[in-house]
Structures are given as C-alpha cells and as structure tokens.
Amino acid sequence: MPDFNAVQWSLAVLAAILTGVSKTGVPGTGMLVVPLMANLFGSRLSVGALLPMLIVADLFAVLWYREHCRWDQIRRLSPWVAFGLVLGAAFLLSIGETAGKDVLNPTIGGIVLAMLAVHLLRKRTGDRLNLRSKPAIAGAGTLAGFTTTVSNAAGPVMTIYVTAQGLTKNEFMGTFAWYFFLINSAKVPILLAISLAQPSNPLMTSATGIFNLIVVPAIIGGAFLGKWLLPRIPQRAFEAVILTLAAIASAKLLVS
C-alpha cells in the first residue's frame, strides 16, 4: 500500500471522485485527475495507477449510457486509435521516467489548445474548417491513441473532436463510455507487458493495485454524482463546461 499522509490520501480520494464524475457526468473533469495522480505517484507510475480507476468508472458509464453510443464515430476512429496505441507503447518503452513527461506534457497541452482554437474558429466560420474530414479523423484518432497510452490524457482530444460532430449530451456520453472502456481495457496488457520488460521502471506495481482497491468506493460515489449532475446541465452549458475544463487542464499541462 502507498505510504501516503492524510493530505495525500485526501488528494487520492478527490482524484477517485473526479474520475467517477468525469465518466458519467462532466467529462472535462477527468483531465484534472492526471496532475493529481502524477503528484501522488510520479509521472510514469501514475499512468498505471490511474488506468484501473478509469476502467471501474468506465463500467458505470457503459451501464448507464450504452444505448446512446454512436458506433459510427468509434468505427471511424478505431484504426487510427490502434495506430496511436502502438506509437504510445513504443514511446513508453523508449523513454525514462523524467524525460517522458517533461517533454510530453507541454506537447499534449499545446496540441489540445490548438485543437480547441480550431474548434472555436470553426463555430465562427461554419464548415470551411471541417473537423469531420478524413485527415481530421486520422489525426484525432492517432493523437487520442497515443496520448491515452502514455499519459491517460486523451480526454481533451476526444472532447473537442466529438463535440465538433454535433452529438447530443447522451450521445456524447454513450460514445465516450464505450470508446474509453474498449481503449482502456486494451491498454492493460500493454502496460503490464512494459512493466515486465522494465521491472526497474514499471508502470504498474502491487502497491498501485492495492491503492486501486482502496479507492473503488470513492470512484463509485463519483460515478453516481456524475449521473445525478448530467440531466441538470443544459446542452449549451454542458459543451461550454467540458471545453473550458479541457482548456484549463491543457494549459496546466503546457506550463507543467
């Protein structure tokens, strides 16, 4: 079990609650969990520590929103996401703990902020900036697969891409639920294999596994809180909130 003090355990519980909320109510809050977990476990180990938490929350999201999934959106992205997963796995194998995050976090933050700017510009210019084109799908899918593998940070990428497709709140949540459940489940053997290949610099350990079991109740509580919040947020406010949170979290990555 991690040797945390009272403040660290409080942050851990907050991270677990926000993980649940992000999957069932306000997706943008998920990016706030990434820096919290990095502060608790360090940049590299936090990737593996967070993954089981995400999958637990994904199960509740799938249970509640499965019927609203837009499978056409997932099918379009899937080949490119798989390509991004391969790139991310190769990257994790090739870097050390410090070098990876120091370079990667600002890069991810900058890319997502650029995507957000494109999305907002598209709202002003109409279809002249097409985020539904084949190049946009390829770019979003590859970037989402890469960022989710190396830092569990695909939320802003997917938020901006899916929002640009004009989905309703429930369609958004259903598509997010299935997408991240499938992708996060696929990442488990990848991270375990890397941990076995690099035992001196693992991504998952017995301590992170015990931590995951301890925080399950807080994740479940957050999931129910998110479900309660979703129908109480109007569509326009929903889009504004998730895009704003994505921007804040990306700015945090940019300056970290």
Distance CA 1, CA 80 (A): 37
Helices and strands (H and E) in the chain: how many? 10, 0
Predicted local distance difference test score (pLDDT) of residue 17:
94
Burial 127-152, CB ≥16 within 10 A → b, else e: eebebeeeebbbbbbbbbbbbbbbbb
pTM to 2 decimal places: 0.80
Q: What does the pLDDT look like over 61-97, one tens digit per residue? A: 999 998 999 998 889 889 999 999 999 888 888 875 5
- Rounded CA gap, 17 and 132, in Å? 33
Q: Which residues of the chain have pLDDT under 70?
A: 1, 28, 31, 96-105, 107-109, 111-112, 115-116, 118-132, 235, 239, 242, 246, 249-250, 253, 256
Six token digits for residue 208: 């992170």
Secondary structure (3-state) at 26: coil
C-alpha 49/C-alpha 37 separation (Å) is 8
CB 67 within 8 Å of CB 174 = yes
